[in-house]
Structure 1
C-alpha cells in the first residue's frame, strides 16, 4: 500500500472495502455537506452498504475502469478523490472528489487531484481528463479551475436527483495542457508504475 503526503499531517491512501466502518463514519459526518452534490453519499447508510460502495470501486479497479482514494487528516478520513471513469482504450478518464467540512481550506482536494492527473497523463498515457459537476457547486468548480481545466459546456437537465433534474457542467484538461510535475529526485511516484509490455 502507498501513502502519499499531501502536506502537514494529511495523506492520500487507497480506500478499500476493509475501510467500510471508517468510511461510513466519515460519510455520516460529511452527509449534510456533500449529499446535495454527490448522490452516491446517500447509498452508504450502514456498514453493508458502505462496504458495497467500496467493493464496487475495488472491482472496477481490478478491471482498470475506476479507482478511489481517501484523504486522511491527522489520522481521520475527511474526504477523497477518485477516477469515476477510467477508459485506457479511449484515453479518457473522469476525476471526482468529496470532502467533509473538517478538511476544507487546506488545498487537500486540489493536491490529491493533481497526483491523480499526474499519474493518468504521465504513467497511463491518458489524453483527456474530465470533471463533471452539478451546476451551482461552486467549490467543485473552483477546484476544476485551480487544476487548469476548461469548461466545455453544460449538459442541460442531465441528472435526476430526488425528483428534480439538474444541469451538469463538464470541464476538462488535455495531456498537452497538463504541466509536468516537478518532484524531488528521491520522491516516489504516488501510484504503481506501469509495467512494460
Structure 2
C-alpha cells in the first residue's frame, strides 16, 4: 500500500470509497471547523454520502482528472489533500486541503501539499498549480505563501457555499518557479 510519511506519527495515503465510514466519522468530528470553508462538509453526513463523494474522486482519478488523499495522524483520519482540478491538456491543476483542528500547527498541510505539487510538476508535467481560498481563510493563505505561490487576484462571487456565492482568492505557481 502507498503511504507517504509526513511526520513521525502522520502519513499521506489514498482516500478511497472503502474508507467511507472513517471519512464520515472524520466529517462529523470536524464539521464545525471545516464548514466555513468547504462545501463537501454540507453533503457528507453519513457513510452512504461519504461513499458517493469518495467515489466521485475515484472516478476522477480513473479519468486522470483529479486525485484524493487522506492525512492520518496517529492512525486517525485527520485531514486530506486533493487535486480538485487536474487538466493534463492545459497542464494546470488545483490543490485543495483540509485538516481537523487537533492536527493543526505541525506543518502537515504544507508538507503534504509540497509532495502533491512536486508529483504534479516533476512526474506529470503540470506547468501551473493553483490554490484557491476564501479571502478570510488566513491559514490557507499562509500555506500558499509558504509554498512560494503568488496571489494573482480575486474571482468575485465565484464560490458556492452555505447557500451563497463567495469571493475566491487565486494563488498559483508555475513549474519553473517550483523547480528553481
1:160 shift after superposition: 3.0
Q: Which runs of 5+ in 1 are unaligned?
A: 181-197
Matches within 5 A, 1:43-192: 43-179=43-179
CA RMSD of aligned residues (A): 0.9
Structure 2 CA distance for aligned equivalents of residues 129 and 4 of structure 1: 21
Give secondary structure in 2 for the equivalent of 1:158.
strand
Could you tell me the TM-score, scaled by structure 1's length? 0.89
1:111 shift after superposition: 0.3
**1:89-111 CA distances to partner (integer Å, 9 max, x unpaired)?**
11000000001011100100100
1:140 shift after superposition: 0.6
Deviates more, 1:149-158 or 1:162-171: 162-171
Size of the aligned set, in residue pairs, is 180
Structure 2 CA distance for aligned equivalents of residues 107 and 179 of structure 1: 21
Structure 2 CA distance for aligned equivalents of residues 23 and 164 of structure 1: 26
Q: Which has the larger radius of gyration?
A: 1
Could you tell me the TM-score, scaled by structure 2's length? 0.97
Structure 2 CA distance for aligned equivalents of residues 179 and 147 of structure 1: 12
Structure 2 CA distance for aligned equivalents of residues 157 and 53 of structure 1: 24
**1:103-129 CA distances to partner (integer Å, 9 max, x unpaired)?**
100100100000000000000000000
